[in-house]
Structure 1
Amino acid sequence: MGRSPRLSEAERKLWNAFPTGETVELAQVVTGHGTVAGQNAPKDGDTWGPERTVRASVITSLLLGAREAAPGSVPAVRLRGARITGSLSILGGRVEHELVLSGCHLDEPVLLTATTTRSVRLTDCTLPGFSGGGMRVAGHLSLSGSNITGTVRLARAVFESGLWLGGIRLTADDVWALSAGSMVVDSGATFRGADITGGVRLAGSRMNGDVNFEGATVRNPGGYAIRADDMVVEGTVHCTKGFTAQGCIRVRGARISGTFCFAGAVHSPDTPYALHASHMEVREFYLDPAEPVDGVVTLAHSRVGTLQDDPHTWPEKLRLNGLTYDRLRSGKVERRIDWAGRDPEGFRPQPYEQLAAWYLRDGNDGLARRTQLAKLRARRRTQGPGLRVWGRLLDVTVGYGYRPWLAGVWFALLLLVGTVAFGLNPPRPLKPDEAPVFDSFAYSFDLLLPLPAFGQREMFDPAGWTQGLAYGLVVAGWILATALIAGATRVLRPQ
């Protein structure tokens, strides 16, 4: 197709450059990531005149084969500093050429729904939305640095070489600013430095590389900042270097083969969870937020290889029931025990059991016993008055069996009291002619033992206040013996 007299001068430049893939620059533009998301996108593009205006229909005609390639060249639409009027729309088509727009202003949303295309790059552009649901890109999609004032729709889209949304400013009135459920990205997806107002939906998506939210800000107070249920990531998820979310981050059921690195900030006190990471599988979970998470965090029923966190940033409400891990890093035992008991719904034994099991695998038997003891003390607070009294008695006397030496301390203390008291006030012999020489130590020892060992208890009868002391020692001996047996039974019982 030759030159058309109906083309403007700007359109004619693009028409002639297409066969060789040359870039048509209608004005100098600043490109590349700035300190503010979308700062290089044009702010006055709607005022540009005919010398910088190209109709979208001209671009779609070229992409769909209106001109042939020049010999030895790869045709493409490459345009800088233009205002594009009309709808850049290719629905269900097949595009064999790249589309590269830089520093452009688009009056209407881009519509590439269900289209098969090569790489599409709309960098540092201003546009009112992008619809690419079900599109298949033999290359990558880049909207980096652009200022988009409508929803970006990429549900069920497939990208062979990546999704680049770094430095994007995305603002939408809809629930989702980015709707990309069930998307497949054969390489990585980056949102580095993005500023997004509205939710990001990645539920059911598959990323065969990293997912990078470094320095990104996502705002959707009272709703989901990021919803990525059942997302599969073969690389690492980076929520670091100033990452901030206002709204819930939900990765329930996600599977991450690498590391989930979370070192940003989350503020979502008005949603059921601020960080919803239940039923997740991840090789390594690095949880070190820049400040304590503002809201409830759940890791319930997740499976983690290595869990590394910072006790100073744990939220007040933390659900760990069903969480399993192969290795823990950082955190003193006192803080870990506190960590296991922060469930907002009350006492849950499994977090304590899992923590004790980890200490046993790590060779720290003493720490495992302290954890089990803490579990029993926490359970006691949920029991009735009678069981609480019995539990307190077991705790004081033998530490529920995990501190059997306490029984020895009590026994020695009571033995000392009895030895001194009966030494100063010896009981009278029941049969003076047959009684052995009185020994206050042996007599007190006999009183404390359920079965006498020295034959003193049956041969002497205390009187006065020492009679009450003798009865008290007998009762105390039985209590110590019962507590010791109960505690030993609890410890030896399989957990």
Structure 2
Amino acid sequence: MTEPPGLNDAERRLWRAFPTGTPVVLGDDRPDGPLPDRIVRAEVIGQLLLGACATRDGFVPAVRLRGAYVVGRLDLTGGTVPHELSLQFCRLVEIPKLANCETRQLRFSDCRMPGFDGGGLRADGYLSLSRSVIEGELGLSRAQLLGGLRMNEATVTATAPDRWAIFGGGLLVEVGCYMRDCEITGGVRFVGARMNGGLWMEGTRLVNPGRLAMDAQNMVVENTAEFSRDFHALGTMRLRSARFNGILSFSKATLDAGADDRMALHASHLHCDELLLWPIEKIRGRVSLSYSRIQLIMDHPSIWPDELYLNGLVYETLRGGELTDRLEWISRDKEFHLQPYEQLATWFHGVGHDNLARRVQLAKMRTRRRRLRPIPKAWNYMLDWTVGYGYRPWLAFAWFAALVAFGTTVFSINEPKPVKEPAERPVFHAFVYTLDLLIPIDTFGQQQAFDPVGWSRWVAYALVATGWVLATALIAGVTRVLRPN
């Protein structure tokens, strides 16, 4: 097709430069108003991309435009675009529509536009929005970006509180998704997205207070997901059921739900090789890692929120802080469950700290005791004081030794009277007599041969009863250890 009539000077330059892919520079900055020598109609760009201009052998045709004020709507919906589009320092008056379009490389860097409609877009090259300002929704649902997504230092602002700034459900990004140092107001939706080259969001601010800063349920990230180096999320980060085949890092980040009773990080049912949960300051809001499977968790007591959900969490390694801090870690789950204690005790056993494993099991029983009725609670107190629920059997021997010393002293002062003839009874010994009272079975024959008198009779009764209680508690405690569930 020959050059159409009615083109202005800027459009005429672009039309003639297209067959060879020569860049057309109308200015080195982004025009805020419709400067006459910079105006280019979007329909002219669309005609060039869709084959209205003849190409030239030996050259790669492309639209490369810099510093233009683009009026009208660039609408390539459903089209097949075999040529590269590169817009730099351009001002687009209307939302470009590339829904369900098949294209090559797309570059909208340092541009300003009222939104971007790329739902179902398929780009064999990359999509670049770096340093652009988008005052509306960036729609990339079901898009396939085989060369990656680049939007470093971009600014995206939703038009209403209930609207998403970036809507990328089902997005597929090969090579890598680079969103470093962005300012995104309104929340990011990456539900079901797949990032095969990693997700890089260092230094980015997600601002959506009281709502979802990011909704990335069922997202899959290969390689690394970096929400680190001054990454800031004001709102909820929802990564439920997401899978990270590599590192998920919140190193030197800020997680702020906006309120202590809101969820700051919802990462339940998550699968991850390595979680670096070490933001620059204490997490404000709740954190859920329930039913997640993580090989390595690296965090620190200084950043733990006041409320954690850890039921069902399975991990292989814990790092950060002292080992004894982990008891406080699991105690921050306000809902009592056996599994977090069992998992932590198993990990302590695995790293050779059996004494800490016993402390965890003991803490589990004490926490469980708070939820019992009065009678079972009283019995649990008895098990704790006497044998430490079986995890501290030495307590029973300490009690036993103290009672033996007390009984020996009492019956040395006030000896019992014999009840058998001298030839039939053994020689009285206060120590052995006390042992006979404490041991539930008549072992040494002293108890049957002598009868306490006066006030010491009540001491003898108390020792007999205490002996039975200690024996029962020891048996119950050992049984509980062998059958903890």
Provide, for residues 24-59 of structure 1, a one-character-per-residue CA deviation record: whole Å limited to 9, x for no partner.
Answer: 111123xxxxxxxxxxxx4xx232411111111111
Q: 1:226 aligns with which of 198, 211, 214?
A: 214
**Normalising by the residue count of structure 1, what TM-score does the alignment of the two structures yield?**
0.94
1:129 pairs with 2:119: no
Corresponding pairs, count? 480
- Superposed CA deviations along residues 266-303 of structure 1, whole A, max 9, x for unmatched, are 22227752211111111111111222221111111111
8 Å CA contact retained: 2:3, 2:53: no
Structure 2 counterparts to residues 79-94 of structure 1, below 5 A: 79-94=65-80
Matched, 1:253 2:202: no
2:294 counterpart of 1:304: yes
Residue aligning to 2:57: 71
Q: Which amino acid aligns with 1:284?
A: E
Match for residue 479 of structure 2? 489
Provide the residue aligned with 1:413 in structure 2. 402
Q: Deviation at 1:306?
A: 1.4
Alpha-carbon offset, residue 332 of structure 1? 2.8
Q: Deviations over 1:217-242 (max 9, x none)?
A: 01111111100111111121111011
The yes-or-no answer on 1:446 pairing with 2:436 is yes
Compute the displacement of 1:156 (Å): 0.4
Question: Of 410, 424, 431, which aligns to 2:420?
Answer: 431
The 1-side partners of 2:28 and 2:134 are apart by 21
- CA–CA distance in 1 between the matches of 2:321 and 2:84? 52
C-alpha distance in 2, partners of 1:137/1:337? 51
The one-letter code sitting in structure 2 at the alignment partner of 1:420 is T
Of 103, 115, 136 in structure 1, the residue corresponding to residue 89 of structure 2 is 103
* Identical-residue share of aligned pairs (%): 49
Report the Cα offset of residue 19 of structure 1. 1.2
Contact 1:247 1:271 in 2 (8 A): no
1:22-421 equivalences in 2 (<5 Å): 22-29=22-29, 42=30, 45-174=31-160, 175-263=163-251, 264-268=253-257, 269=259, 272-344=262-334, 346-421=335-410
Moved more, 327-336 or 135-144: 327-336
Structure-1 residue corresponding to 2:7: 7
The letter for the 1-side match of 2:142 is R
Q: How many Å apart are 1:335 and its aligned residue?
A: 2.0
Aligned residue for 1:100, secondary structure, equals strand
The one-letter amino acid of 2:241's match is G
Q: TM-score, normalised by structure 2?
A: 0.96
Residue 91 of structure 1, CA deviation: 0.9
Q: Distance in 1 between matches of 2:369 and 2:90?
A: 67
How far 1:257 sits from its partner (Å)? Answer: 0.7
Quick one: distance in 1 between partners of 2:358 and 2:119? 55
Question: Does structure 2 retain, via aligned residues, the 8 Å contact 1:298–1:318?
Answer: yes
C-alpha spacing 1:413/1:271, structure 2 compared with 1 (3 Å): closer
Q: 1:481 offset after TM fit, Å?
A: 0.6
Is the contact made by 1:113 and 1:132 (CA closer than 8 Å) also made in structure 2? yes
Amino acid at match of 1:215: G
2:21 corresponds in structure 1 to 21
Gaps of 5+ in 1: 30-41
Q: Does the 8 A contact of 1:248 with 1:271 survive in 2?
A: no
- Kindly provide the amino acid, as one letter, of the partner of residue 53 in structure 1: I
- Matched residue, 2:462: 472
Runs of at least 5 residues in structure 2 that lack an aligned partner in the other structure:
none
CA–CA distance in structure 1, aligned partners of residues 89 and 388 of structure 2: 71
Shift in Å at residue 424 of structure 1?
Answer: 2.1
Aligned counterparts of 2:50 and 2:135: Cα–Cα separation in 1: 27
Contact 2:324-2:356 within 8 A present in 1 as well: no
Q: Is the 8 A contact 1:86 1:108 kept in 2?
A: yes
Quote how far apart the aligned CAs of 1:252 are: 0.8
Cα distance in 2, alignment partners of residues 291 and 349 from structure 1: 30
User: 2-side partners of 1:217 and 1:196: how far apart?
Assistant: 6
